[in-house]
Structure 1
Amino acid sequence: MTKKSRYSISDAAIQNEEMELNTYFNNKVNIPHDQFGDNNSRFQQITICIKYSFSWRKLWAFTGPGFLMSIAYLDPGNIESDMQTGVIANYRLLWVLLYSTILGLLMQILSARMGVVTGKHLAELCYSRYHKMPRLLLWIMTEIAIIGSDMQEVIGTALALYMLTNRWLPLWAGVLLTILDTVTFLFLDKYGLRKLETFFAFLIAIMAMTFGYEFVRAKPDAGKIGLGMALPYCKDCDKDVLLQAVGIVGAIIMPHNLYLHSALVKSRNVDNRKRLEAKDANRYILIESSIALFVSFLINLAVTSVFAHGLSGKTNADIWKLCSNRSDKFVNMDILENDNKTFEADLYQAGIFLGCQFGALPFYIWAVGILAAGQSSTMTGTYSGQFAMEGFLNLQWPRWKRTLLTRSIAIAPTLAVTIFSDIKELTGMNDYLNALMVIQLPFAVLPTLTFSSSKLVMGKFVNNLFNLIVATLLSFVVIAINIYSTIQLTIDNSTKQNGPILYPITIILGILYISFIIYLIGCFLSVLGVRFHERIPIIVVSSETNATNNDCVEIIKNGPEELDTYFQSEVNIPECYSFKWKRLWSFIGPGLLMSIAYLDPGNIESDMQCGVIAGYKLLWILLWSTILGLLIQILSARIGVVTGKHLAELCYSRYHKLPRLLLWIMTEIAIIGSDMQEVIGTALALYMLTNRLLPLWAGVLITILDTFSFLFLDKFGVRKLEAFFGFLITIMAVTFGYEFFVVRPDIGGIATGSALPYCKGCRKDALLQAVGIVGAIIQPHNLYLHSALVKSRKVNNRKRLETKDANRYIAIESAIVLFISLLINMAVISVFAKGLYGKTNHDVYEVCERQKSKRFIDMNVLSNDNRTFVADLYQAGIFLGCQFGELPYYIWAIGILAAGQSSTMTGTYAGQFAMEGFLNLKWPRWKRVLLTRSIAIAPTFLVTIFSNVQSLTGMNDYLNALMVIQLPFAILPTLTFSSSIMVMGKFVNNLFNLIIATTLSIVVIVVNIYFAIQLIVDKSGHYSYITVPVSILFGSFYLIFILYLNACFLTVLGVRFHQKIPVIGKYFQESSEHEYKYLD
């Protein structure tokens, strides 16, 4: 590829400047029909059958906008309103929730119908029909509602993170983190409309499962639920209950949601010039909206019922007594009061109650539900703001600017409250924000009623008499009680000190507020034909057209530029590629070599320490780390198959000299660190097998020879080499499996630890060990290795179907071998969870004291005190021998030897590929092996001479930390290239892979950086005045390089806001053409 065929990021920004301004409805979803017309235009036009019968396929095509709309019914403000309803009114206001949802459905249908019939959304209609001053005021009110809703999302997300981390992450930090989630969501709609809608459906499913779990766990009274929905009556209700009823309406019907829904429906390719097609579209949108809001109603109903059953009528003393008996980390007694006042819950206290009443799991599940509610609302708020700005002002901003502005305004007051106040004040903000939604409601409801009732706008789809009467009456009732509640809120919050100021301001603003509502009502009356008020000059609704069409008033043409989008969604017809065991066998090999990095001595020591420190409680970390590793390995392998280049070669062709040199250095450091672990494991295994006759330093030197003994193995063919490594993996499976059957761990404990993502009573050392597992499992250089190993299979990557088939078999093989590695790692953890968890030095010393006559027992490495026993590979083997006999000791040593030896050759290959790829430099393999092993041996050899066996095995902690630090420099290039359509063509990451891999990778990188920092802090000791400044200096360069790699990743995703930074355009290149084309 020549230099001319590349373009820099800054060039891409110019070429794609207009693409940033695209909104949701630029990507049209074609609706399936029974008959098809001609195909004259660029986009296939569809002629609808005259006979309209219900079609599930058609309904599926319309499914999407309603679910995005329904998210506003499930934001953190709604969840808090539901919770408070249950606490204050028991089941008595469930009918208000039901009828509010029905009213919301009616208003949403009117709003959506406008979008379908006119081809314009509500904000665009306001721009074309209202004069300048009214539409500017409407825009301001809509923006206030959006910012208020965004603040609720910030509060919900920050609070959920605060709960999930057991208060470890401060609220202010959680608030700041919400800046990142908006940027994360910016690229989602680049991957196709349907995938975006699927993602939001997934978030709704999480809310349904989490809040549904709380419902099943709490077991509310079904009879009272039915009665509460059926009887529109509230016996013995006081002022608080009535205000809460009003709050339900304000929380359910979000003003900006009407603007949103009218725009979302434009994503469906409907010819609104054809009355029957528009009518059919309205029918399916009605069905989809009803289904979506029914789901949201069930979720809101579940939340209300849970707290009606558990907290209604309870006092502070009741909750205090309940929680005082628990010692769980999540219990925060500081926010609970011990008096006889009625308990007033917020989102945080509600979670604490659930934890105190039902256990820790409901507490964390509640937090996950709140997090999903906050995250799902983020993107819909972004779209609402985008549509409002484009519609009211006819102004287009890049979405990242729009999002950053809205979120910054939302964060400022929230951050101030978190810093200068407490958690009660933060959660209490939701009450004021719900009141803000109440105040803004007329400014969405009245324009919706006005335009949907206008024959000039809607033509034959104008509101019928029934819709008009019901919508108008209910809307005016809602507006009246909302105004009442606002007045009542002002009275309740006024004091003798602020009253003289608060009342005049409220009166002045109230007069202006009511005047604007009266103006909007006048406009509404105009379209109904009421004329007595038209002498007032300001009350005029401008008309855009004087003529009417038989079907609708105006035709808004959808030109090709509106339909065109960066990604065109296609559904490929699957070929008949049947599964063949013989074909799978031919692909088995690369995965075996890759899986060895999951079983090296560093992994085995990490597993052993995990069992000793945390018992079975961190098995789920091992499971999910392996799953993440599998996902990343598959992406890496796919790169090799599709492009014909391994990861290091792609780095050479895509990054400029300085970044790729830095990546090579980081990769070499990881390889050397891994090689040191193999040297330590092999030397230690030989030390144990010879009963300490062979000194450790001699074992270290012997490891030079074993590298050369492997050099000739690949001379006999790749299949025999792979078979040899399969044999070494079998030895590990047999040896560590033997230990498992000898020790007989608790199967129930293993199953619980694997299934429950929770670590009850875990201390800081257990949490650090959890991070250590991730760092030990996912080896950075292994991604470079796997992308190269798959090139050993003869696949014609110019044939798309053959490439797809190869990717499938490689995924199956990788899954099989990593499942085997998972079982081996799980066996090691379980053995020491059963044998050493909770044991003290004295316990182990006492066991070995009775067996000290045996040759393998080394009492010099055992202490006789009451401190918790902290084992290493050597002490673990001694314990097995003392507890179960001599044979388990030697079998353990054989397993460690196999782990060390098997890792040697893969490290050699990884180094070879890295040097050839990053530097375009080929060395004879013996030189490469000698250099790497010499660097690895030097420090290890010095430790064995000048220190003892415990210092040698303790090096593994630092080496695992080294792996942790290097991890981003393999994951980020893998994500970057596998997500680049220029590199991968049709094999670019799909939305699911991208979201899961990116999210998990970001989490891994963040916790790994934290782990490295914590290790530096813990180990700095008296030399902190040196280690801390040096760490800060290197850490700054480290983070800058990670940010650069993230920017490159964002570039291939189409995110462009960072492109003005010259160094990014200078140091990363994206090909202007697809390099990889297919013959079929």
Structure 2
Amino acid sequence: MTKSLEEVNQSVATQGKKSTFRKILAFFGPAYLISVGYMDPGNWATDLAGGSQFGYALIWVLLMSNIMALLLQSLSARLGIVTQRDLAQASRETYSPFINYILYFLAEIAIAACDLAEVLGMAIGLNLLFDISLINGVLITVLDTFILLFLINKGMRKMEAFIIALVAVIGFSFVFEMIFAQPEVTKIFGGLVPSLPGEAALYIAIGIIGATVMPHNLYLHSSLVQTRKFDRSKEGIKQALKYNFMDSAIALNLAFFVNAAILILAAATFYKNGMFEVAEIQDAHKLLEPLLGTQWAPILFAVALIAAGQSSTITGTLAGQIVMEGYLNLRIQPWVRRIITRLIAIVPAVVTILYFGESVTGKLLILSQVVLSLQLGFAIIPLIHFVSDKSKMKGFHIGKVTQIAAWLIALIIVSLNGKLVFDEINGWLGASENPMIIWLTVVPITFGFLILLLYIIFKPFVTKAKNNIENHSPHLLKLNFEQTKASDKKEIAVSVDFSTADEIALNSAIELGGKEANYTLIHIVETVGAIMYGEKTDDHETSIDERLLHEYKDILTGKGFKVETKLGFGKPDKSIPMIINEGNFDVLVMGTHGHTGIKDLLFGTTVNKLRHKISIPLLIVKN
């Protein structure tokens, strides 16, 4: 089993902090990366529509959505902290490959839909601030791929700091917007009382809930909490759960403030002046200056929009990596992963803008939220099942009251989003010149997803739970040794990755050194967590890799060889040279997988980058 976000897994230390404040601070960070998903451009569209049409009346919907999100995110964090697995990994270990492929496909669609909203938000922000056309703005968003890669290489704490800075930009922008708008405080508090002024308000309310509880955030949070290395005793896990809940509560309440500020701004400017149909972000920007009487209002609005789009796209990329690695156990180059996700979002955006014009961006944003709605149940329901399972949660399963609350939230979200999907299909049927196409395509697919949802809901209740989570580890632990002979190589390093290449590499090393040499087995943990947090990473894959490395050692020492082990973190072409140059080795032996061309682009290469960074001979053994 690979570790979730291996590059940064367990890379932030929380132990040894002298004060409680420093200990709490060490756990803070993951939820801020999660919170940006709750204030992305998709949320802006629903908040603007709600505020301009119904004034302050729907603030309570935002508050309710925030409470729902807080509970679900706390469950996601609990899964990651206790089991050291993210939601995608837990799903792969629970469901059949066929079901997992479908769940993976749905998760990818959801991430692409999120990315579509972020692409449009960034493009609109650039258009408003610098008068760059939407098409050019959409194309420019490809560049944020390199921002993400730069931040990952700088470490998780720097990425978290960057995201928090963007969140601060959004927050401060809206603080000033509130000062300019001067909303009516009594009406704000009045909006906290539940009410629905008409059927149209229900539709907007459903859109707000759908835009708030993002499925990719559940995958992301269950992985990011594993970047903290802590005492894994019962008390240590309890403390980690408590501090992560505090982190989530603060971060999500900040997201609630931003969403409420957008809705209040729309109510205090557009609704107050009888402009009830302002749903396009561009229209809102144009009207802010004449209505509020200051040129800073539209500027701050555009800056906050760019910050929201940029921060959301970074976390969306990480979620994409988690989903692919978790469901498929497939790890590709981060930049390849990012470009694939971004292209999936850019193509429909460019085609739509070229064909329909720039006036449809608001509709495209809302469509992205409808697509998200389809996937919500497929993330929420497995999560509730997992954290309710006594055997999987090792005594840290949720209680009955929390289970009832979680299922009630799932019922509300799935029902309301189901209504949203039903209404959309009805709308398409009514507007289509040839509705038979929709009856033969969209309707059967929707029913298929409904059957899948029912299967996921009821399967754990009718199937006896497994006592242990299966380890679907890709690593192979099969070694056959050849006859050895003496050599002058006394300190031999061997890079292993628990694949078929190891057997050839180890046999070649033993042929060089015989039983007189000292062998050091090196393995690099490559999850996103390990890349970002280094040796502070403490996730499932790290523990599995460490165990397998010691099994290699036991096999070799049992045959009379002198063996040590070294576990590194991050990218092999950086971590292996660091270990080699710090040691006193005569030669490094590596096996290769023999892939070339397109596979090098997808999976990366280690040998060519590594050989220039070490000062000892490198023996490359081809598999």
> What's the TM-score once normalised by structure 1's chain length?
0.44
Distance 1:60 1:188 in 2: 21
Q: Report if the CA contact (8 A) 2:86-2:222 is conserved.
A: yes
Report matched runs for 1:524-563 at 5 Å.
Answer: 524=460, 526=461, 531=462, 534=463, 544-545=468-469, 561-562=524-525
Distance 2:532 2:37 in 1: 28
Q: Which residue of 1 aligns with 2:324?
A: 389
Distance 2:465 2:420 in 1: 30
Report matched runs for 1:272-287 at 5 Å.
Answer: 272=232, 274-287=233-246
Q: Report if the CA contact (8 A) 2:27-2:243 is conserved.
A: yes
- Aligned-partner residue type, residue 452 of structure 2: F
1:462 alignment partner, SS class: coil
The yes-or-no answer on 1:350 pairing with 2:275 is no
Report matched runs for 1:282-681 at 5 Å.
Answer: 282-312=241-271, 342-358=276-292, 359-493=294-428, 494-495=430-431, 497-524=433-460, 526=461, 531=462, 534=463, 544-545=468-469, 561-562=524-525, 565=531
Summarize the Cα distance change of 1:564–1:1058 in structure 2 as closer, same or farther, 3 Å threshold: closer
Q: Report if the CA contact (8 A) 1:24-1:264 is conserved.
A: no
Summarize the Cα distance change of 1:122–1:495 in structure 2 as closer, same or farther, 3 Å threshold: same
1:311 alignment partner, SS class: helix
1:1071 to partner: Cα distance: 6.9
1:149 to partner: Cα distance: 0.2
1:441 alignment partner, SS class: helix
Q: Which residue of 2 aligns with 1:87?
A: 52
2:203 to 243, 251, 255: 243
- Aligned-partner residue type, residue 390 of structure 1: E
Q: Which residue of 2 aligns with 1:132?
A: 97
1:372 alignment partner, SS class: helix
Q: Report if the CA contact (8 A) 1:218-1:310 is conserved.
A: yes
Summarize the Cα distance change of 1:238–1:187 in structure 2 as closer, same or farther, 3 Å threshold: same
Report matched runs for 1:887-966 at 5 Å.
Answer: none
1:498 to partner: Cα distance: 3.7
1:417 to partner: Cα distance: 1.8
Summarize the Cα distance change of 1:309–1:34 in structure 2 as closer, same or farther, 3 Å threshold: closer
Summarize the Cα distance change of 1:502–1:277 in structure 2 as closer, same or farther, 3 Å threshold: same
Q: Which residue of 2 aligns with 1:28?
A: 11
Q: Which residue of 2 aligns with 1:848?
A: none
Q: Report if the CA contact (8 A) 2:333-2:602 is conserved.
A: no
Q: Which residue of 1 aligns with 2:166?
A: 203
1:429 to partner: Cα distance: 0.3
Q: Which residue of 2 aligns with 1:889?
A: none
Structure 2: segments with no counterpart, 5+ residues: 472-521, 537-573, 576-599, 616-623
Summarize the Cα distance change of 1:434–1:566 in structure 2 as closer, same or farther, 3 Å threshold: closer
1:219 to partner: Cα distance: 1.0
Summarize the Cα distance change of 1:361–1:155 in structure 2 as closer, same or farther, 3 Å threshold: same
1:187 alignment partner, SS class: helix
Summarize the Cα distance change of 1:314–1:491 in structure 2 as closer, same or farther, 3 Å threshold: farther
Q: Report if the CA contact (8 A) 1:66-1:288 is conserved.
A: yes
Q: Report if the CA contact (8 A) 1:129-1:543 is conserved.
A: no
Q: Which residue of 1 aligns with 2:113?
A: 148
Q: Which residue of 2 aligns with 1:219?
A: 182
Q: Which residue of 2 aligns with 1:639?
A: none
- Aligned-partner residue type, residue 362 of structure 1: A
Q: Which residue of 2 aligns with 1:617?
A: none
Summarize the Cα distance change of 1:34–1:218 in structure 2 as closer, same or farther, 3 Å threshold: closer
For each residue in 1:674-704, what CA deviation from the matched residue of structure 2 results, as whole angstroms up to 9, or x when unmatched? xxxxxxxxxxxxxxxxxxxxxxxxxxxxxxx
Distance 1:569 1:544 in 2: 27
For each residue in 1:464-511, what CA deviation from the matched residue of structure 2 results, as whole angstroms up to 9, or x when unmatched? 011001111121121111101111122234325143332443331221
Report matched runs for 1:594-993 at 5 Å.
Answer: none
Greater mean deviation of Cα atoms: 282-291 or 187-196: 187-196
Distance 1:193 1:211 in 2: 27
Distance 1:397 1:1058 in 2: 5
Q: Report if the CA contact (8 A) 2:332-2:603 is conserved.
A: no
Distance 2:199 2:440 in 1: 25
Distance 2:406 2:310 in 1: 31
The yes-or-no answer on 1:233 pairing with 2:192 is no
2:126 to 156, 161, 168: 161
1:363 to partner: Cα distance: 1.1
Q: Give the number of the structure with larger relative contact order, counting CA–CA contacts within 8 Å between residues 6 or more apart.
A: 2
Distance 2:129 2:419 in 1: 38
Q: Report if the CA contact (8 A) 2:88-2:219 is conserved.
A: yes
Summarize the Cα distance change of 1:406–1:361 in structure 2 as closer, same or farther, 3 Å threshold: same
Matched length: 494
- Aligned-partner residue type, residue 228 of structure 2: R
Q: Report if the CA contact (8 A) 2:11-2:532 is conserved.
A: no
- Aligned-partner residue type, residue 155 of structure 1: L
Report matched runs for 1:247-286 at 5 Å.
Answer: 247-272=207-232, 274-286=233-245
For each residue in 1:765-795, what CA deviation from the matched residue of structure 2 results, as whole angstroms up to 9, or x when unmatched? xxxxxxxxxxxxxxxxxxxxxxxxxxxxxxx
Distance 1:255 1:143 in 2: 10
Q: Report if the CA contact (8 A) 2:69-2:213 is conserved.
A: yes
Summarize the Cα distance change of 1:509–1:291 in structure 2 as closer, same or farther, 3 Å threshold: same
Q: Report if the CA contact (8 A) 1:27-1:192 is conserved.
A: no
1:364 to partner: Cα distance: 1.4
> What's the TM-score once normalised by structure 2's chain length?
0.74
1:55 to partner: Cα distance: 1.4
For each residue in 1:202-250, what CA deviation from the matched residue of structure 2 results, as whole angstroms up to 9, or x when unmatched? 0100110112221111011111111211x1223xx22211010011110
1:127 to partner: Cα distance: 0.9
Rg comparison, structure with higher value: 1
The yes-or-no answer on 1:187 pairing with 2:150 is yes
Q: Which residue of 1 aligns with 2:513?
A: none
Q: Report if the CA contact (8 A) 1:314-1:343 is conserved.
A: no
1:78 to 38, 43, 52: 43
1:25 to partner: Cα distance: 3.1
1:1059 to partner: Cα distance: 13
Q: Which residue of 2 aligns with 1:177?
A: 140
1:426 to partner: Cα distance: 2.0
Distance 1:63 1:564 in 2: 18
